[in-house]
Chain A
Amino acid sequence: MKPEGKKRIWAEYQKEIPDDHFFYVRSCIRQTFFAGSEQYFLKILREDLGKDVYEDPRHTTCTGIGYHGDVVPFETIQTVVARHFALATEAGYRHIAISCVTSFGIYSEILETWKHFPETLERTREDLYKATGRTFEVPETISHTSDIIYKFREEIARKAKYNLVDAATGKPLKVVEHIGCHYSKMFPKYGVGGAEFPHVLVGMVESWGGDIIDYPERRHCCGFGFRQYLVQANRGYSLFASRKKFESMEPYRPDMIIANCPGCTMFMDRWQYTIKEIDGITYGAEGHGIPVLTYEEVAGLVLGYDPWELGLQYHNVQSLPLLRKMGIKADPERRFLDRDGSRLPEPANLIDG
């Protein structure tokens, strides 16, 4: 592998990521399954980096799941997204920060459509106005929230309490990065580093001391695939895709997987349990699973936040060995205790990571 070859590609795919003043749109999946991630993204940006992030409680789902599930037409989703833009316009924000990769893909698709077919933009303005009486400005930039963490990765590194290294040996952790398909495969120029060799997570991991694994099925889909997942009988395809990835990364003995898409994080985490149930196979060391973390969680760990506050215990694959390796002292007994000492609900089917 020639690192300069990748740098060459990364240099070609540099997108504009604004410095401040973000209009934040949440992700259905991330806020439900990885609530700590969104909470800590805001906390890191506002408190650790001192940025202005605006969030409007009136913003809704982008309807991407319905769109990819063939129940929401393109005109409808354009109008829903236009409403978000209207909220941003009304609040005086021109930079959208999107938590969900599916949403990010939809925003990219809509912006590209408006660029190449201006009449669709006009039609959307009309539809939005008729439906809500709102008007909007097309935003200056859209960023996925991983883009923003990527932009401030060095700053985070400077404030780091822990690094992605084995605290005992000083060796870098081996990290698998997984990029959501809709982040840049459709429009390479919208992603940091393009579609073939995206840099967005690689940049974070390397800045925080970890080593990236380039394994053969790196580009492969996590297995989410809306249509595959939504129909129960088709979930075998989804599961098969995930297994293909795990089998491909297994020989490298990764310490963790980092993903920028909430759907990917969820499926790569949950399917490890399902595969174990069906085939009795796990892919991590010593019969354990491989922890799958969001980049917000990883950034939170690096900055020294409490893993249980970040919500790592609510992943199927638990991360105690990873935390121990990083030298983070986390009391397993406190995993499911609330701040006031009362017991939190404990999920079933956890597997060791």
Chain B
Amino acid sequence: MNSDLFVIPFNLGLYFILIYSVVRSVAWFRSLSRPDKLRLQRGFFGRPFMDSLREIFMESLLHRKIFRKNPVLGYMHMSLAFGWFLLIVFGTIEADFFGEKHLNPPSHAIFFRWFNPEHGAEGLARIYNVWMDFLLAFILSGLLLAVIKRFTPRMMGMKKTTRHTWTDRLALTSLWLIFPSRLLAESFTCGAHGSGSFLTGNLGSALASFLPAAEIAPWFWWLYSISLGTFFFMLPISRYFHIPVELFLIFMRNSGITTGDRHSSYTEVQTHACSSCGVCISVCQMSYAAGINDIQSAYFIKGLRNDRDISAITANCLMCGRCEEVCPVGIELGPMRLIERRQGERADRTLSLPERYSVMRKRSVTEKVPTQSYGYLVREEPEKAEVLFFAGCMTHLTPSVIAAMKRIMESAGVKYRFMDEKGGVCCGRPLMLAGRDREARELINHNSDIIWKSGAKILVTSCPICYKVFRESYYLEATVMHHSEFINLLIEEGSLRLGYLHRKVVYHDPCELGRGSGIYEEPRAVISYVAELLEASQERSMSLCCGGSLGNLTLASGKKAMIAADAARILTMSSPDELITACPLCKKTFVQATKTKVSDIAELVAAALPAPSKRVARRRSARATVRANDAG
């Protein structure tokens, strides 16, 4: 039959995408590091495989996470993904079961109605037809929502939606055309043959009543096939490539592969797994509080995917981690950005490929020379100490926090040394946030040397920025504690005698302490011990960034102030007496942004200390030290 030619676009597209997927997967696998290859191989024959299948079902088809965040958006995604999945599965069953043969090429299932126009008049087939029409209607309802979302994102509870490239638009158009064209193609065919169920049958007979259905039907079958074919061809170069890639990502992640600190096939898979859903844009404070709408993770990933110069985007991020927290695909956005920062500038896009290559080659030579160098630092010989206190650079700008910590430690009888009393060396985290790991390592080595030589069992710091890097990038014998943890320890072991302050306070989780290091409970325990802790509308893992973050290199001070003002407004909605934070930088930032008194957790605790009595303090000192040793 000549008119069967319309299946060609579909077939071409389908075989193209299948071959492409296999080739790409093999390429990714081959470029994995040896340990990651092993992980993946082991994962394929173990639990991770089953876990991945479950996750694929729950997330890629049902979109459970999006569902939880936003039911309408979840339904939209679910209807399209799960609906289409069911349509394919049941379509294949239908073709194999009701068709002439029992093993058919995919086109027979997809275009089943064309090849079997009379099918489904009675019996089981009739019921099956109802089911197939229902699935189509299910998808179409999701499609309707998608169209609404594209044109009025707010109706879908989305503050912002991502912007599209022309390839995205073409893919989107073909995707949108697939189901309406199938509907019309089936309807016309059914109309011409008097078959079909509640949707296709009714619509078909209605259309056939005034149109030459038999003549029109092939046109829509062509459109259906072309739409599918186009979509498959566009898939690798559009955002919809995420659909197949996400499956691969889930499998890799469940096998235990992580982002690490350099580009790999895992970062590439993550790049392509982003669906540009825009959830990251909605939660980004830079967007809604400071009106900056072109740097969010979705754009970052898109820039990476399209190999654009994204150095400005890469640098302009608070690194607060809120987007990563909500990413439905689970992309490690923070580490991805840091990798890109480490990469430095990319080659100028205006150069030709050979020029770019020569530039990059030249660079690889010069880049070996560190941009920063701290040869001027003199090795120190610290005194021995059980507990070492490192205030941090920023804390030196909030001397009240240092004073509070001194009082607390003295009151608890802690024998400590103040490591950077006369000003120390930066912990290295700010350099890492700027992508300068090699240089940061110099500072880390310098500080590590001092900490090791001191023989300290506990390293207490007042700055969450230092805390994170001490924990993650220093190799230390000492237990690293943020001062909120340390105070909590002192309270728990009973070495701090504290009064109760009749104050209502709200606690702000600093990014590096909360999302960055998972410390949520200790500060709350400490605060609840001395004051009444009110809940904030956005806290713990969804805590707001104060805006002062060192993660952002380029943000103008005015914009930072806007973010700070917005965060402070939300935090103080319950009109607390005090806004408590646990980071000197957050404190400095919030003080400018709110009239509510802003204190560090250490200051709050110090306020709850009884008037100092030397004898008591001395008696306690022995006990506290023993406990400190145990903790170490």
Touch A–B, Cβ below 8 Å: no
